[in-house]
Amino acid sequence: MIKEEYLGIFKTRKQGNSIAVTIPKNAGIEPGVELAVTRINDQLVYVPVKPVKPINLFATNAVKKHDFTQEIADLGYDPDTLTPIGHERIAD
């Protein structure tokens, strides 16, 4: 079932190097929401994109079990054996 609601007619405006259109408050879109835009024939369809929460892989159990041998071989050196030369933070 397709739910369709008419929200009105809105005029585009130039904003910098872009063309902008105002989304009415009663559309229920909060500020800062990213929208994916698709062109279907002569219509533009805007769909809100759900934000993806970033995952800190180094805070997971997977990194504790990971064998870094291949990564060290790809680098050509072992970062754990290098002396810091800048302002790196060294974990104890």
Decide which of 80 and 38 is more confident: 38
Domain-embedded: residue 1: no
Domain-embedded: residue 31: yes
pLDDT of residue 92: 59
Question: Mean pLDDT throughout 32-49?
Answer: 90
Say if CB 34 and CB 51 are below 8 A apart.
yes
Say if CB 30 and CB 49 are below 8 A apart.
no
Expressed as residue numbers, the domain containing 36 is 13-48
Whether pLDDT at 50 is above 70: yes
Label residue 17 left, alpha or beta by phi (over 0 means left) and psi (-120 to 50 means alpha).
Answer: alpha
Domain-embedded: residue 6: no
The structural domain count of the chain equals 1
- Percent of the chain residues past pLDDT 70, beyond the cut: 96
Q: How far apart (Å, rounded) are the C-alpha atoms in residues 43 and 48?
A: 16
Entry pTM: 0.46
Q: Which of 74, 71, 75 is nearest to 57 (CA)?
A: 71
Whether pLDDT at 89 is above 80: no
pLDDT of residue 62: 78
At 75, the amino acid letter reads L
Say if CB 78 and CB 72 are below 8 A apart.
yes
Domain-embedded: residue 17: yes
pLDDT of residue 82: 82
